[in-house]
Structure 1
Amino acid sequence: MQTALQVVQAPEIAPKIGTAWLGGIYAGVIAGMDGQPDYHLIHAPAENELINVNWQQSITQATLTINGFEDWSLFNRREGRLLAINTPEGFDKDGWYWTSEQNAGNPDYAWVQYFDVGDQFTLSKSGTYRARAVRRVLIIQ
């Protein structure tokens, strides 16, 4: 699944990882791939977490307006890894979180992120787990 990047005017200096910024919690920088620019990753606050949703519900419901911003969506696998490394304390350690990526070898499965030890795995899309939206703020140089 291709992730849409929004062009948002951001301050020149990002805050400390784990602090509130631009409608959520700052998680760090994701390196752009295939010629795409790098971007800041911001996850939604815990009170905006989706609980007991299947994969399709998580994709749809992650696009809510949160703290006045309308460019939220579900995180992908690379972003999930960064969230697990940089801001694991902001997530429930006892549950799986949906990513936006389907399993390439089995369309009935999608990737999930586990924040206790940082694992990623594929589970049936019909299962119900947690989900958290993110925002992406381009770094334009």
Structure 2
Amino acid sequence: MTAERKSPGLSGLFEMIVNEAATRAHAALLQSKASEAGQTCGRSSGRSWPDSRDRHGCCPPVNTNELRLPTLNSGEMYAGIVCEAGRPSHHLILLPGEREDIGWNDAMEWADQSGGELPTRSEQALLFANLKDQFKEAWYWSGAQHVSRSDYAWAQGFYGGFQYYYRKHGKLRARAVRRSVIQSFIHS
């Protein structure tokens, strides 16, 4: 007889994702703060810290406020935290609605009219990781143009996780996102 594994439910899953993201963001912040100050871990350098230490006793003190999650409007879904340059940058929110059989320029306009934008390539990877079930198994436009081929733009396949570029006049699907800047991490 196989034991049935119970799902943590949407609120439990959301809490697990947020807690993991907050823990990683805090660790990255501690590391970057130490690097900016030219400091290293007390264990590796023999240096001791005069003030309070983190749970490992070796990193410089950094005060962080409680991570504040954005308010979601009706139909929106929280996708997670996006980091840029190793630091938490913004919360990513998937907006309701979807377009199919749409070219890239029209998709960009539709996303703007929906109150959002097409996601970046890294945001699409986060959407694939955290909200794959909210997408059809199809290709979706990103907001990123190909660097050397101006008539191409990038897309994400939501059946296998691949990214590839397509001619902008190609007919793919589109979803819009909005971003909420993270302002809750303050250096001491």
TM-score by length of structure 1 reads: 0.76
The percent of aligned pairs where both chains have the same amino acid is: 35
Residue in 2 that maps onto 1:101: 144
Q: How many residues align?
A: 118
Residue in 2 that maps onto 1:52: 101
Runs of 4+ in 1 over 4 A off after TM superposition: none
Q: Which has the higher strand share?
A: 1
Q: Which has the higher helix share?
A: 2
Aligned-pair Cα RMSD in Å: 2.2
Residue in 2 that maps onto 1:8: none
The structure having more radius of gyration, on CA atoms, is 2
- Unpaired runs of 5+ residues, structure 2, are 1-65
Select the structure with the greater relative contact order (CA < 8 A; seq sep ≥ 6): 1
CA offset at residue 44 of structure 1?
A: 1.3
Residue in 1 that maps onto 2:111: 62
1:131 and 2:174 are equivalent in the alignment: yes
CA offset at residue 91 of structure 1?
A: 0.3
Residue in 2 that maps onto 1:38: 89
Separation (CA, whole Å) in 2 of partners of 1:131 and 1:88:
14
TM-score by length of structure 2 reads: 0.58
Separation (CA, whole Å) in 2 of partners of 1:34 and 1:85:
19
Residue in 2 that maps onto 1:88: 132
State which of 162, 166, 169 in structure 2 corresponds to 1:119.
Answer: 162
Determine helix, strand or coil for the equivalent of 1:98: strand
- Unpaired runs of 5+ residues, structure 1, are 1-10
